[in-house]
């Protein structure tokens, strides 16, 4: 008896996921985390209006979701001052990155990213046989000039850049990225991941003509809008590129409740503003806790803070392991020298109190 005839590419791929979820860790430990501060989720939650809209739609779940996400796309178009034809909605930015890779990446195609940047993008590129070319961070920031120079060197089809950055929380002015795009090869597409842009200072978003064919921008309802479990992302780009998504996307991938909740969340900008204020206060508290323990918190424009543990990656991993053993879920960057840090998501006061109590013990344990 033989099994399925996998493609040669599939045979070469590891059966892994970019992130081990906190639920998997809890099952392995046999108990729940006391503070969930590792997945950059918005613990302050979605707008009550979004929750109520989802609840009110429950009885209609016998219907498929609108495959065009018409109402949400039109509302987003009004919000951004563009046309609906310049927006595609998908199953989070992760889903849209997968569609983009399917649309553009063939076996052997060159793709450029930063070494240590968001691993889910790499996962999708590898899944279609692309060849990843990586450039190091400059300091603790992604380097647009280095990325674009590498793209020219290797003939890349895609360059990936997150602004603000995950996992470091650093950011660049949108105008500086636009200026750097003068060096982007004309046949290379820049994927600008702006998942955290609502938390960032004014001027962080890249202001580019929506029909500029060199750029696609990714946004999400998972972070500032607090709907990570609903999986709603969207991309802004030139009409021909956005239209091309319809050739390969899962047209019934967006569930009905998610569309309804995202629409209601978009319409509650007061809740968004309060959430951003809560996150800013939590970032300040994480920085205070870090300083109290002799550590350094990197400036952040996201809903998390990278905390420099003052050693190498092995030491930071020991700190992380001790925190996890004490019921505090955090993560850390994968690549040196950024892996000298742990990454702590903005939490509620009670979450950060638990982190503050656990951190000194974790540092002592890591130091032996």
Structure tokens at 331: 């993560």
Residue spans per domain, the chain: 9-45+270-366, 48-268
Task: Give all strands (DSSP E) within 64-205, no chain letters.
Answer: 87-90, 110-114, 131-135, 158-162, 189-193
Written as six digits, the tokens of 48 are 């009550």
Residue-wise pLDDT for 141-197, tens only, equals: 999 999 999 999 999 999 999 999 999 999 999 999 999 999 999 999 999 999 999
User: Is residue 366 pLDDT above 80, yes or no?
Assistant: yes
- Domain 9-45+270-366 fold is 3.90.1150
- Degrees (nearest 5) of the Cα angle 82, 193, 144? 110
What does pLDDT average to over the chain? 97
How far is it, in rounded angstroms, from Cα 156 to Cα 127?
17
Q: How far is CA 185 from CA 92, 146, 238, in A?
A: 28, 13, 17
pLDDT band at 91 (very low <50, low <70, confident <90, very high): very high
Give strand pairing partners of 236.
Answer: 87, 217
- The arithmetic mean of pLDDT across residues 335-342, rounded, is 98
- Please state the pTM of the whole predicted model: 0.96
* % of the chain beyond a pLDDT of 70: 100
The pLDDT of 353-358, averaged and rounded, is: 98
Domain 48-268 has what CATH class? alpha beta
Output the furthest CA–CA distance in the chain (Å, rounded): 63
Beta strands in 156-214 (DSSP E): 158-162, 189-193
pLDDT tens profile 238-294:
999 999 999 999 999 999 999 999 999 999 999 999 999 999 999 999 999 999 999
Residue 15, CB-side half-sphere exposure with 13 Å CA sphere? 1
Share of the chain above pLDDT 90, in %: 96
pLDDT tier, 2 (very low <50, low <70, confident <90, very high otherwise): confident
CB 145 within 8 A of CB 180: yes
Q: Which of 269, 278, 259, 293 is nearest to 345 (CA)?
A: 278
């Amino acid at each position: 008896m033989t099994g399925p005839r996998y493609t040669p590419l599939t045979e070469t791929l590891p059966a892994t996921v970019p992130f081990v979820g906190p639920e998997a860790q809890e099952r392995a430990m046999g108990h729940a985390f006391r503070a969930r501060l590792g997945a950059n989720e918005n613990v302050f939650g979605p707008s009550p209006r979004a929750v109520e809209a989802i609840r009110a739609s429950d009885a209609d779940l016998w219907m498929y979701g609108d495959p065009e996400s018409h109402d949400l796309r039109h509302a987003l178009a009004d919000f951004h001052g563009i046309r609906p034809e310049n927006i595609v909605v998908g199953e989070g930015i992760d889903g849209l990155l997968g569609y983009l890779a399917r649309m553009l990446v063939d076996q052997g195609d060159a793709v450029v990213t930063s070494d240590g940047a968001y691993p889910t993008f790499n996962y999708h590129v590898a899944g279609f046989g692309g060849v990843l070319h990586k450039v190091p961070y400059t300091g603790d920031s992604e380097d647009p000039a280095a990325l674009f120079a590498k793209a020219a060197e290797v003939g890349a089809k895609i360059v990936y850049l997150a602004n603000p950055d995950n996992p470091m929380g650093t950011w660049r002015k949108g105008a500086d990225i636009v200026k750097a795009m003068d060096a982007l090869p004309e046949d290379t597409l820049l994927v600008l991941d702006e998942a955290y842009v609502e938390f960032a200072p004014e001027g962080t978003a890249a202001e580019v003509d929506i029909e500029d064919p060199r750029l696609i921008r990714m946004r999400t309802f998972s972070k500032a809008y607090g709907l990570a479990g609903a999986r709603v992302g969207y991309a802004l780009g030139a009409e021909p590129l956005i239209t091309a998504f319809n050739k390969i996307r899962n047209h019934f991938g967006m569930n009905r409740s998610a569309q309804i909740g995202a629409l209601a969340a978009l319409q509650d900008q007061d809740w968004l503003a309060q959430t951003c204020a809560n996150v800013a206060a939590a970032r300040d508290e994480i920085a205070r806790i870090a300083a109290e323990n002799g550590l350094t918190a990197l400036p952040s424009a996201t809903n998390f803070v990278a905390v420099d543990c003052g050693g190498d990656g092995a030491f930071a991993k020991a700190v992380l392991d001790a925190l996890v053993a004490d019921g505090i879920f955090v993560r850390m960057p994968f690549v040196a020298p950024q892996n000298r840090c742990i990454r702590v998501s903005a939490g509620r006061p009670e979450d950060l109190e638990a982190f503050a109590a656990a951190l000194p013990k974790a540092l002592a344990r890591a130091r032996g």
